[in-house]
Amino acid sequence: MTTYVRATDPFPLESADHTKLHEFYARLAEGRLVTTRCSSCATTAWPPRGFCGECASDAFAWVELPREGAIHAFTVQDTGLPPGFDGPRVFAIVKLDALRIFAVVTGVADPATLQIGQRVRLAPVRVRDDPKGQPRWLLAFTPA
């Protein structure tokens, strides 16, 4: 049974035991959105990266991102949802400054009412704890 649960666990292992990017999730739990900026060449990454794709440096700093953006594109999933998810599920690319961030959009009663350019705000979702019982958070937005 444990093997089955782990095999179907759709969420990353977010704790410091598993990723050097654990601070991203810790701040998400506080309702903050951050990403990495290379300390060597100042490239801002999305998603957060432990090394720079431009200069290969592994020195980075956390930078705060806005908590509100606009829907750049979206799609709706009606079927094939993982166990425990209610449909329909909305996925969007959200414009935040120069970044384009893929995330779930929650709190949408009727996806047909969503529009490109609509304002959304950060609304992290607590998901199933990791196998050691540590809380985990999923990046999500909701209509502003």
* By CB under 5 A, residue 39 contacts Zn ion: no
* By CB under 5 A, residue 41 contacts Zn ion: yes
* By CB under 5 A, residue 40 contacts Zn ion: yes
d(CA 36, CA 59) in angstroms, rounded, equals: 9
Task: Name which position in 8, 10, 30, 57 contacts Zn ion (CB under 5 A).
Answer: 57
Return the structure tokens found at 38. Answer: 């290379």
| Minimum separation from the CB atom of position 15 to Zn ion (A) | 26
Question: 50, exposed or middle or buried, with CB in 10 Å at 0-12, 13-18, 19+?
Answer: exposed
Task: Name which position in 54, 58, 64, 129 contacts Zn ion (CB under 5 A).
Answer: 54
* By CB under 5 A, residue 92 contacts Zn ion: no
* By CB under 5 A, residue 55 contacts Zn ion: yes
